[in-house]
Amino acid sequence: MEKEIIQKGFGKFRSMYSLKQIPSECQIKKLVRKILFGTHVHCPGCKSRRIYKSEHRYRCRDCRRPFSLTSNTWLTNMKLPWEDFYVLLWCWLNHMPIAQSINVTELSEVTIREWFDKFRANLTDSDWLKPLANTVQMDEAFFRDRAVIAAKDVSSKRVVLRVIPKADVQKQNIA
């Protein structure tokens, strides 16, 4: 009897956090495909655009390599359903506390912390250059296991620094 009351009470609490604008799994995959591949899906091995869809995977006509939407990305081996991934990403982008994210997603604290760490490591922060307005000078410095990118507004002499945990600086880390 107590378990039923607790479950019912939790269900009422959970319904308070229900999100009605969650896209379907198909729409989420379409968004991710557009972000990862752009307008045309290509083989991660040979970069050929001659691919076809086989069940839930893609297959290259040139090298015959099978691959999925998340192959060779930081989302490889993702075990979360796409809807949970979308809601978790929404929670992270809206700076929602972990305790509140647990209530919204019904995922464990460990899972949420791991995914927040993955988001932090792999998603770029596009707002880091916003304080700079006019002509900007940029330079980088390399250390053992990280790099520092510095950007300076020429007119206001304002400086913005960004530490990257990798030894190599790539385009996606800058803009």
Give start and end residues of each alpha helix (H) in the chain: 2-15, 25-37, 82-93, 98-105, 109-122, 171-174
Whether pTM > 0.85 for this model: the answer is no
CA dihedral over 15, 28, 115, 71, signed as positive or negative: positive
Residue identified by tokens 């980088």 is: 140
Longest dimension (CA), the chain: 70
Cα within 13 Å of Cα(117), Cβ side: 7
pLDDT per residue, tens digit, the chain (175 aa), is 333 333 333 343 344 445 667 888 888 888 888 888 888 888 888 888 899 888 888 899 999 888 888 888 888 888 899 999 999 988 888 888 989 989 888 899 999 999 988 888 777 666 666 677 778 788 888 887 778 888 888 887 788 777 776 655 565 555 5
Tokens of 50: 């001659």
